[in-house]
Amino acid sequence: MSKILNPVKNAAVAGADSSRYRVVGVDGDRDIPTATASAACIIKASGLTKSYRKQNVVVPVLRGVDFQAEEKRITAIVGQSGSGKSTLLHLLGTLDQPDEGEIFFNGARIDNVSARERDHFRNTQLGMIFQFYHLLPELTLLENIMAPAMIRHGIFSYWKRRSELKERARELAAVVGLEHRLRHRPSQLSGGEMQRTAIARALILNPSLLLADEPTGNLDQETGTSILGLLQSLNEEHNLTIVMVTHDEYVASQCDALVRLKGGRVERLK
Ligand code: ADP
Ligand code: MG
């Protein structure tokens, strides 16, 4: 069985696909991505336009967005409130479709495929986290982490694989530093702990790309910095590729690549 390394405690845990969560030494034996090294593009969008229609009023939000993110890096998207950051992230995550333009994931078109193929893409390749966590209040922390697996596998297959999935969920709870809170419900957790739970949930199906919409936006500075540290350790130690919308200048400054949405277009800052 392949292994992942616990970034919180540096303890090896089992259960992930080695192609995505490569085992690394405690000292870290991966190639650190640098701005100058060429890296493979994992997601690429070109010419995206998107307008919302409210009654007879058309609100253009994206007016020809070109965007790309490299594998194994953290790419930040900044921009004023209402500039279309969430809209862009939703298009990249196939939660919505552009009016015009194309989106490719590892070279394959994802924006114009069937709803079933989009669901499959999201289940197998993507993890998502949001500003307000979106945990299910009636489920425990462990059950919340397992929820995507229940939905993905269907009840019969889920029950057959339940102990394996439970073990993986426990490992991820340890990765995010919450192995001692497994039976707690969201109402018993702090904001930072809820975001850590949401991160573990986003990783249960072993995604190759994590999309994060203002993951520190509802947290105080110190907690936000610790969530950023967790995302950085997942990126550095497990090669998790992250595209993150953020308002926070410090968070943005810590990312490998940085773009700004302005006037419905994207400009690359770093
Ligand atoms: P950001 O995340 O940068 O704050 P959004 O992508 O959420 O911006 O929104 C961009 C613009 O699109 C805003 O003016 C917002 O009101 C509008 N908008 C977003 N979603 C919808 C929707 N479902 N229907 C109508 N307008 C929307
Ligand atoms: Mg937003």
User: If you ran DSSP here, which 8-state letter would residue 1 be given?
Assistant: -
User: What are 36-71's pLDDT values in tens digits?
Assistant: 456 799 999 999 999 999 889 999 999 999 999 999
Tokens found for residue 22? 């490569």
18-266: which CATH topology?
Rossmann fold (3.40.50)
For residue 61 and ligand 1, the question of a CB distance below 6 A is answered with yes
User: What are 176-230's pLDDT values in tens digits?
Assistant: 999 999 999 999 999 999 999 999 999 999 999 999 999 999 999 999 999 999 9
Predicted pLDDT of residue 2: 36
Which amino acid residue places its CA nearest to atom 16 of ligand 1? 82
Q: How far is CA 150 from CA 111, 134, 166, in A?
A: 26, 16, 11
User: What are 243-255's pLDDT values in tens digits?
Assistant: 999 989 999 999 9
For residue 262 and ligand 1, the question of a CB distance below 6 A is answered with no
Residue 16: pLDDT over 90: no
Distance, in Å, from the CA atom of 229 to the CA atom of 199, rounded to the nearest integer, reads 12
Whole-structure pTM value: 0.87
The residue ranking higher by pLDDT, 141 or 3, is 141
User: What are 144-182's pLDDT values in tens digits?
Assistant: 999 999 888 878 888 888 899 999 999 999 999 999 999
Q: How far is CA 189 from CA 133, 147, 178, 192, 255, in A?
A: 12, 18, 10, 8, 28
Tell me how many helices (H) and strands (E) the chain has: 7, 12
Residue 13: pLDDT over 70: no
Please give the number of the atom of ligand 1 that sits closest to the Cα of 245: 2
Domain ranges of the chain: 18-266
Average pLDDT value for residue range 93-106: 97
Of 175, 200, 174, nearest in space to 186 by CA:
200
Distance, in Å, from the CA atom of 43 to the CA atom of 56, rounded to the nearest integer, reads 34
Give distance in angstroms: CA of 104 to centre of ligand 1.
23
